[in-house]
Structure formats: C-alpha cells, structure tokens
Amino acid sequence: MSQPRIVFLDGHTLFSNDLNPDDLNVCGHFTFHARTPQSQVLERGKDAEVLIVNKVHLGEEEFAALPNLKLVCVAATGYDGIDTIAARAHGVTVCHCEDYSTLSVAQLTLSLLLSLADGVDETFRSTRAGGWAACPDFCYSVRPRFELAGRKLCIVGMGNIGRAVAAVMKPLGLILSAVTSCPQSELPDGVGKVTLEEAFATSDIVSLHCPLRADNRGMVSAELLAKTRPGLILLNTARGALVDETAVAEALHRGQLGAYCADVMSQEPPSAKNPLFTAPNAYITPHIGWATVEARRRVITQLIENIQSFFEGKPQRVVS
C-alpha cells in the first residue's frame, strides 16, 4: 500500500520552534506549512489525502474542490472550523484530538485566579522597579491580597476540563458549584448543581469551561451581567465568543464585574480596538492554556494515531 499524502496547513502554534514536525513523517509523505491563508487552502491541499488543520476553515467549497481528500485531522479538540455535514457528504472522515490539554488548561485557570488574588505580576514589576528597595519596612505591598478559601466558585461546563478545574480548586477551600447538563448524582463530591442565572447572581467567581455552540454564543450577555453579583470575578479559558465582550467591558467599567480573566477572545488574533484592552481589571493571555510542551506532544501522538488507525480501517476519535 502506498503512503498517503499528508499536508499540515497551519502547524506553527503546535510546534512553536521547539518540537519537530518531521515526527509526522512516519505517517506518509508529509508536507508542513506554518500558516496557510484561506485563499491558498485549495492549492496547497489539492493532492492531499489527509489534511491536518488547527484553525483553517474547511467548508463545502473546500470539500467539493478536493476530490482526493479522505481524512481531516484537527490538531485540537474543538472542530467548529470544519463543516462536518459537508465533510460527510463528500465522504471525508473528520477526527480530532481528545483530552490532551485538560491539565494544562486547568493549570492556567488556576494561575489566572491566583495571579488576581495575589497580585503577583504587579508585585514582580514594582519590586524590580525598586519599590521594595525604597520602602522603609520589611514587608512591601503593592495592593491588598485576598484569600480564596470560603469563596463561591461556579464552574460552567463539567466536561474533562471543568472536572479538572474543580479538582485543583477544591484544596484551596473554595465552595464549588456547577452549571451542567449532568445529573447531580454524576457530579464530584461537594459540587452542587445550579442554573446559569443562579451562578452569576450568587457566586464570587464563575469559570467558563463549556464548548461553543450556536445556542450558547454570547450567553454572558448584558442582560445576564445586569443581574450579576457586584464584584464577580469571571474566568474564561473556554471560548471567547461565549461572552459579549462589549457587555463585559462595560460591566468592568461600572464595577459590576470585579475582574475578567480570559485566555480566549471572540476574534483571534483580536482587534487592537477590542474594548477589553481599555477596560479596568481585564487580564488577557493570548490563548496559551492548551500550549504546554507536554500537551502539544500529546497532540502529535494523537495525530499519528488518528492517521495510522484510519488507513488500517479502524478510525478513532471520529467526529464526522
């Protein structure tokens, strides 16, 4: 059997100059592109039997114009950039990667919250700028810290990442609840079930960990934020479009939200004019939660498994 022709259209963020894309050579004739504009997808993919993508969009137009294509491997868990109905109509299998970044995203979620509670970044910068050296006291404070113990944290979405976040937060003494379709009997011990409205009205902290769907796009709306407990801390390491970013910025300006800590935005890379960049207490990291070296190695392993198992007639991690 001849080796399949494989093209990775946008692999830069996965490899990031510290991992080797040549590892995928074991799967077939492999061509690597760091980035591919949408206008070049058809040209670069015209002979491919396998396309590997991260954020490149594949829709009806692409599937119709790529008759050799048999398999699409998404180098991520989310596959909202792939028209799975069109893929199925053209006989193309779509596979994704599962559970590779769970611990990495949970770790960053905790980091965002701890950084907010302890003011680590501001303190580092002030100390390096000479603030402590100029202080007459043994103890130098840039701003007050606060303890997390006893505060109410609601996790929206109790998939693998949501459950991992619950596991890392619980030892800190937080009182946990969840917005989820899971029955109460299937939730971890000590995690109560609430509605989204109850979460925003009663919690000190809400952390988003649900996939983006048509029915929850912009679910953190101006209307919901108007009913929010004043000073709420909102964490988002899921998808930027779960929130109305303009409404979040306005809630920060008027103090309805105490802080917004996010690793994702509705447009990535974002516009420099995004209102969150000028809102008080908005702390944004550039979609790095998934990207530990360990998590990226797991993606590579799963891509190899997905390709090899497909051509062995036993496809795995299939989403369409």
Contact 223, 251 (CB under 8 A): no
Contacts of 59 (CB under 8 A, 6+ apart): 83, 86
Evaluated on CA atoms 40, 41, 43, 48, the torsion sign reads positive
List the Cα angle 41/42/44 in 5-degree steps. Answer: 65
Residue linked to tokens 């670069």:
44
Show which residues are catalytic.
Answer: 239, 268, 287
Q: Which amino acid is at 243?
A: V
Which letter, b or e, does each residue of 270-281 get, where b requires 16 or more Cβ atoms within 10 Å of its Cβ? beeebbbeebee
d(CA 145, CA 2): 62
